[in-house]
Amino acid sequence: MSYVRPPGLPIVDAMTPAVLVLTGPVTRDEAAGLCDAVRARLEDTGAGVVVCDVGGLGPPGLGIVDLLARLQLTARRAGGSIRLRDPDPALHALLDLVGLRFETEGQPEQREPALSVEEAVEPGDPAV
C-alpha cells in the first residue's frame, strides 16, 4: 500500500486524486494506519479526494462499513473526502442500509442530474 507521487506539474497534481488500494480483511489495528495514509495522501497531493479501491476487500460486513466511515471522517477532518472505486453491489447496498453515502467513481454526484434525462413537453405548452 505504498505510494510515491513523482514530481510533476503542481496544478495537475492537485487535480489528480491519490489512490489507496484496500485489501481485506482489515483489522481494527490496521484501520488507524489506513486513516494515517488517507491523511498523508490528502496533504501530499492537495487534491482534496483520495480514491479508495475497495474491490479487494472481500465480502462486505460491518467491519468494512466501520473502516470506510473512519476513512471518510479522517478525510473530512483533513479538509477532503474519499471516493470509492469498484465497490461490490452488496457493499453499496449495505452502506445504503446503514445510511452512509459515498461518492463512487463512474457515477454522477447526488447533486448532479443524471445524463440523458429529458422532460416531456405537452402540446400547447409555451416556449421557455
The structure's pTM equals 0.71
Buried b (16+ CB within 10 A) or exposed e, 80-109: bbbbbbbbeeebbebbeeeeeebebeeeee
Q: Tell me the pLDDT tens digit for each residue of 57-101.
A: 989 999 999 999 999 999 999 999 999 999 999 999 999 999 999
Q: Tell me the pLDDT tens digit for each residue of 27-52.
A: 888 999 999 999 999 998 888 999 99
Distance CA 28, CA 51 (A): 20
- The yes-or-no verdict on residue 2 having pLDDT over 50 is no
Written as nine digits, the cell of 63 is 467491519
Architecture of the CATH domain 10-101: 2-Layer Sandwich (3.30)
